[in-house]
Structure 1
């Protein structure tokens, strides 16, 4: 009797597949078997690329003469610590009664690579191989994934991209690390009073180190500049008072003056004092007039859903944890069937998921862990706020590659009480953000008043939240100030041309602030946006698609930089700073291969890998460009070193 073999990425996932497939057979050494199916698992990577000495024993010794190292055919080997599980899978793949193979590793480039390496090493042919691609580990999604499994060959471009990514990291790491260590290692070791230093270089890792060092240099070089603003107090009685800030607009006698720090402050305090003297004179109070009154309404919609980068940045800010801790937590939530696939770059839903989103909301109504979640889901359904979601900015197939945004499944609640407190907090973050997209927008009443005094203009702005909308579910604990301030009834009564009194003027001293150091969360956002820390959410979305690394690898890169002691991360603040070793490595790379520090270059390589996955670029063409790049850089450094 022929059987199907299901290969997952982890044992825990294999148990879920076995449960869904109703495999009640005996658990054996490394697999489960029933009459019609066998389920086995990898344990992460089982196979890795061989070191150069596997090609030639002489390459074990680092030498400039052997560079660049560019194998014609790449060698791979089984990782010794997991050889037993590899042998289990190999034996199963060779069994004659197993005629079909379902690849159920994580649905992404890295998951594809994990299985393809096994397939390459085993070399089994003549089996019907299919790819299961799922977005969550609920029973329905697993069954759908199996039912709709496509031939494995349809994922060959993704596999090509995965192999190229590994070769790129391998070639850059081997060639540049050996090259720079042999030329500069002794110099660095001497400066640090160490016996030996290896200059570890990586395609993405070195670029991220450069971002952190560059920011540190900016902070150190920063010189604070003082400036002096002028604030006026207007009104007739204390209850009618309002504040206005002086602006050197076009009508001002100081417009474009070299005395200004910017359009609302002076470089020197004496110039601010002179303006106050000119305006106040000997009059008390001074007459003033309302120059203009503008009223408007502003609608603010809920933010887009979380992708992994946004979630990591948010958790770093809220809970002071590093990106790797966030990834571990959300991976747990995924494996416990509570949320969808976490390693995603998308912040929107697909139209297919939008059609079934009702089920997620109905499921959340059964959630007992948080009343905000249960009541919020009920409110969305009762008010039928779900009906417009398909045509909203939260659903866009064009902004999805492999997976849609991270959202709650509406299931898995039987696992909730066994979660760690941090996992529960992160589940709440994801779920409330999800519910918020169905709520109406928050509405703010905006009031802009310009008050004129002797030809100089003072600006007053009031912003009041008049309809909470999504803030009700997403930020229920905010005070009035956070939601948009308190309403000043006197301001609302003012009309253009109305006379008021200038009661006093005061100087408000300020100073410029240095750029912020990266935190473990903000660096993830900067990596996603090709080296720019863009705090504006909408702008981040506009330039997306040119990131450094991937959602699956960014946390590991930060972790590695810490492990090799190139950077430090403050436990409480999560602020990242370079170590002395990290700064010296940065200087060496800047002197020898500076474009490795350029985020745009690194992002362009990642873009190329994405093009291979989309069949927009041939793998051979990409490989040719990569080898030429490695050869050119090695030759340039060697020539300089002569």
Structure 2
């Protein structure tokens, strides 16, 4: 680290991170205005962004006034400026980077595309020349990791492609935002204001934001147009025990569900709703009459005391294993926290960022759900540290004593190919002193991360499953049972903050057929004795009414997951394969996008439930975009641009190739809007939207 030539400057993204670097360097620092200095080192910081892209009027005063005549706006050379509120710190940093006694700059901004961009802008605006620049890339802020990052810092040129993709991402958002927002506002703003009787309307669109709005509106419209379909299932109560139907009272009974088979008189008839029900109640009653010879009286749910025998067609026994889930990336954690604590993705990110800064967990803005080989070699340290955390002490001790961590590098939880910038979010096993100073929710989020982490060192949970098919008069009834034989990793997962719920009887719900009956071990042993050909009495036959359910609205958490997996929304198989693993937005920006849509009054996020619905203005904006630049509403466009940025970062395509495509898209689409003449026609759509809002 020491440089004979001169001093080393360490530049971090935030003051708090700079403090951690200063601590790790173990030098006698004196505090100056905007930096720390010792004999060998200078540590300074940005406040997030110090530099931003200039607004169009900085290119030409005429561009301040919005006019269709000045569109499309595609600068040949982009302009940047220091953010006025950050001017003082920028001047400090600029002075330090260019100081004659400084020979090496360690770039310690966040290890990701955005962190790269923050420093590169500063370097560019400060006009740094003839200095050695090294990039520090870390996964947590523990002293050990910081020192390792400094020691292994690579020449910044190795990150040139990442930097190029960062600059392009900013230009893309800038060009689409300015051109499309101006064009659509000038073209349709008056119409919207006139319709809604508001002062003036700015149509705010963005590459990611408008696509998310499209997802919310389409889902709401699916729900509105959904028509409930009632369906009727027939459930038999069958006695198990009492050999061949004798002494039925000696056994216990279980429910079995009628399903159509090739032998059934209802096979391939239009009366069926799926394979396990009927569209009309009369048909369910007819099935009961055909089997039992008894009529289902008006107002009754079925018939009792059937006195019919069913014969076992098949008994299938099999083992089922349930593996521990993959580790958390930011999207998965945001989704779980939205379910568990009803907090927004933005709040989750703030909490994990705080846990990261307090050295409790590793870097939060990650898309990976696995560990790297290098981390797996040292993983016993993380586990060892967790012996100091009351809720994990016993598990951590057991994992260490039995050396359960040794083979983890050979499992699905370790895969270098699935890591771009950072591995999954895991506890560092350090920083417990800070745990008392975080909020109650933050300490619960920490527990969630710890339990997920420790569970990967335990074996899969093992179930035994029995599926039984019985037949009477060519009609078949199906039942399946599941019992937990070995809890495996499940012993780690129950949260301390959730009261244990009683095990529910069976898993039948809504639209689905009866899932596995939960049953106790004694009854399971009884069931295991059943053989093909055994006769079992049917005690009663009941009609169970259900109805189809509409698609669910997104919650803020499930929307983050949908954004991460946007490729799955794409119908074209080839395109879907092409952008696999490429979502819309990034782990760092998705929460911000939802916040912005909410703030613009385009969507509503219920604070208590985190459920998302469109707002009236949002739905009107949807109609405007749909009539002018429809690709903006679809995941295909956004995800394919995101994939393009990945290609630039990987060096597969050049910045020039990407820029040419981008400028072509922006100019074509902007010119199309300018030439449209469809304002009057939109009123019909606005009227349709208004019907759904009081």
TM surpasses 0.5: yes
Give how far 1:502 is off: 1.1
Is 1:363 the counterpart of 2:385 in the alignment? yes
Structure 2 residue 470 is the aligned partner of structure 1 residue 451: yes
Structure 1 equivalent of residue 519 of structure 2: 486
User: Contact (CA 8 Å) 1:102, 1:132: kept in 2 or not?
Assistant: yes
Distance in 1, matches of 2:578 and 2:262, equals: 33
In the alignment, which residue of structure 2 is the partner of 1:315? 337
Aligned to 1:24: 28
1:304 aligns with 2:326: yes
Contact persistence 2:385–2:429 (CA under 8 A)? yes
- Asked if the contact 2:567–2:580 (Cα under 8 Å) also holds between the matched residues in 1, the reply is no
Matched residues in 2 for 1:254 and 1:204: separation?
Answer: 50
Whether the aligned pair in 1 keeps the contact of 2:567 and 2:581 (CA below 8 Å) is no
Mapped to 1, the partners of 2:448 and 2:422 lie a distance apart of 19
Q: CA deviation at 1:479?
A: 4.9
Q: Shift of the alpha carbon at 1:20?
A: 0.5
Distance across 2 between alignment mates of 1:565 and 1:93: 43
Q: How far has the Cα of 1:531 moved from its partner?
A: 6.3
Instruction: Provide the C-alpha distance between the structure 2 equivalents of 1:275 and 1:17, rounded to a whole number of angstroms.
Output: 75
SS of 1:72's equivalent? coil
Query: What's the offset of the Cα at 1:237?
Result: 2.5
Counterpart for residue 421 of structure 2: 402
Deviations 1:445-499 (A, max 9, x none): 0110001011011000101111000000013746555998223333222111001
Is the contact made by 2:579 and 2:640 (CA closer than 8 Å) also made in structure 1?
Answer: no
Match of 1:537 in 2: none
What residue in structure 2 maps to residue 292 of structure 1? 314
Q: 1:613 aligns with which of 624, 631, 649?
A: 649
SS in 2 for 1:387: coil
Partner residue, 1:351: 373
Could you list the runs of 5+ residues in structure 2 that have no partner in the other structure?
240-247, 295-304, 508-515, 571-575, 679-694
Q: Which residue of 1 aligns with 2:586?
A: 550
Structure 1 stretches of at least 4 aligned residues deviating more than 3 Å after TM superposition:
476-484, 531-534, 540-544
Task: Tell me the distance in 1 between the aligned counterparts of 2:218 and 2:626.
Answer: 11
* 1:242-274, Cα deviation, whole Å (9 max, x unpaired): 110000122222122111111101000001100
Q: Is this contact kept in 1: 2:12–2:45, CA < 8 A?
A: yes
Aligned-partner SS, 1:444: strand
TM-score, normalisation: structure 1? 0.96
| TM-fit CA distance, 1:543 | 8.4
Distance 1:86 1:250 in 2: 77
Q: Trace 1:318-333 onto structure 2 (pairs within 5 A).
A: 318-333=340-355
Deviates more, 1:142-151 or 1:412-421: 412-421
2:573 corresponds in structure 1 to none
Indicate the SS of the match to 1:380. Answer: helix
Shift in Å at residue 383 of structure 1? 1.9
Instruction: Note the C-alpha offset of 1:166.
Output: 0.3
User: Any idea what SS the aligned residue of 2:488 has?
Assistant: coil
| Cα distance change, pair 478–347 in 1 and its aligned pair in 2 (3 A) | farther
- 1:116/1:542 CA distance change after superposition, 3 Å: closer
Instruction: Evaluate the alpha carbon distance shift between residue 420 and residue 238 of structure 1 in structure 2; reply closer, same or farther with a 3 A threshold.
Output: farther
Task: Find the counterpart in structure 2 of residue 253 from structure 1.
Answer: 265
Instruction: Answer yes or no: is 1:191 the counterpart of 2:227.
Output: no
1: CA distance between counterparts of 2:173 and 2:263? Answer: 59
Describe the superposition over 1:486-521 as per-residue Cα deviations: whole angstroms up to 9, x where unpaired.
233332221110011111100000000010000000
Alpha-carbon contact 1:101-1:128 (below 8 Å) kept? yes
1:85 aligns to what SS in structure 2? helix
Counterpart of 1:381? 400
**Matched position secondary structure for 1:601:** helix
Q: Which residue of 2 aligns with 1:83?
A: 87
Of residues 425, 430, 433, the one that matches 1:414 is 433
Distance in 2 separating the partners of 1:241 and 1:147: 69
**1:505 alignment counterpart:** 541
| Contact 2:180–2:670 (8 Å) recurs in 1 | yes
Would you say the 8 A contact 2:63–2:70 is kept in 1? Answer: yes
Q: Report which stretch shifted further, 188-197 or 380-389.
A: 380-389
Aligned residues: 634
**Does 2:429 match 1:429?**
no
Aligned match of 1:475: 494
1:133 aligns with 2:137: yes
TM-score, structure 2 normalization? 0.89
CA–CA distance in structure 2, aligned partners of residues 424 and 484 of structure 1: 36
* Alpha-carbon contact 2:315-2:469 (below 8 Å) kept: yes
1:517-537 Cα deviation digits (max 9, x unpaired) = 000000000000116589xxx
- Separation in 2, partners of 1:461, 1:428: 35
SS, match of residue 492 in structure 2? helix
Does 1:516 pair with 2:552? yes
Distance in 2, matches of 1:458 and 1:580, equals 49
Contact 1:225–1:511 (CA under 8 A) maintained in structure 2? yes
Question: Tell me, what secondary structure is at the counterpart of 2:429?
Answer: coil
1:192, 1:237 → 2: CA distance?
A: 71
Q: Confirm or deny that 1:627 pairs with 2:663.
A: yes
